[in-house]
Chain A
Amino acid sequence: DVKVTQSSRYLVKRTGEKVFLECVQDMDHENMFWYRQDPGLGLRLIYFSYDVKMKEKGDIPEGYSVSREKKERFSLILESASTNQTSMYLCASRPWSSGRDTGELFFGEGSRLTVL
């Protein structure tokens, strides 16, 4: 089975802190994604990476950056956490997609971040 592991299920940080959310997948997937989930808003795409060292902005990249140095690991970075970044963060991965056949995503269990 595909396993997508997010390093922390729950985090509490203070405003202004730098926050790292780590995601590791074990199925050699090329594509990886970071979403945030807020009540009533569904999942919104922050960043995605279609291969190592490649990244593209999603719909809400402001205040976030990402790193993909190795194929299995995709990190989300909050440079200076703010209270409006309190949310559930979901990482997902998928085998390479040509874009003409976008297949299913495999999700991690989520990281619930609270910024005080």
Chain B
Amino acid sequence: SQQGEEDPQALSIQEGENATMNCSYKTSINNLQWYRQNSGRGLVHLILIRSNEREKHSGRLRVTLDTSKKSSSLLITASRAADTASYFCATALSNDYKLSFGAGTTVTVRA
């Protein structure tokens, strides 16, 4: 089934630095979503970008979408210890109820 693949699998950065992670997918999508998961908890929705959008911002988050390359990136600027979490991309196909998730990127922000 359709599934995003995040890259890298893990990322360790210093507090204050930016964190960038990427998501690639296989077939045309309706939208792409990013979620965060703190250790042992449920997922929390961060941002949704539609297939006709190229860039979206929410606070310190910036998401880009390149449908020609079937890829998206999530940038977290000025990272904080509280940003330590796993980040997942999820793709939604047209006329499909389902979201397909990748395996996630684990981000560790060092104080």
Q: Chain A residues in contact with chain B, CB under 8 A?
A: 4, 31, 33, 35, 40-45, 48, 50, 56, 58-59, 90, 92, 97, 99-110, 112
How many angstroms between the C-alpha atoms of A71 and B14 in the bound complex? 45
Q: Does B68 contact A (CB under 8 A)?
A: no
For chain B, which range describes its interface: under 10, 10 to 19, 20 to 34, or 35 or more residues? Answer: 20 to 34
Q: Does B78 contact A (CB under 8 A)?
A: no
Extra inter-chain contacts (8) besides given A58-B98, A102-B31, CB under 8 Å: A42-B3, A42-B88, A42-B102, A42-B104, A43-B43, A56-B97, A104-B45, A110-B41
Query: Could you show 15 A-B contacts with beta carbons less than 8 Å apart?
Result: A42-B88, A42-B102, A43-B88, A48-B97, A50-B97, A97-B97, A99-B95, A100-B94, A102-B92, A102-B97, A102-B98, A104-B45, A105-B99, A107-B35, A110-B42
Q: Which 4 A-B pairs have the closest CB atoms?
A: A102-B92, A107-B42, A43-B101, A104-B45
Which residues of the partner chain B approach A97 to less than 8 Å between Cβ atoms? 97
With contact pairs A102-B30, A102-B31, A102-B99 given, residues A110 and B92 touching in the complex (Cβ less than 8 Å): no
Which residues of the partner chain B approach A90 to less than 8 Å between Cβ atoms? 42-43
How many angstroms between the C-alpha atoms of A50 and B45 in the bound complex? 20
| Interface contact A108-B42, CB-CB below 8 Å | yes
| Interface contact A107-B94, CB-CB below 8 Å | no
How many angstroms between the C-alpha atoms of A59 and B95 in the bound complex? 17
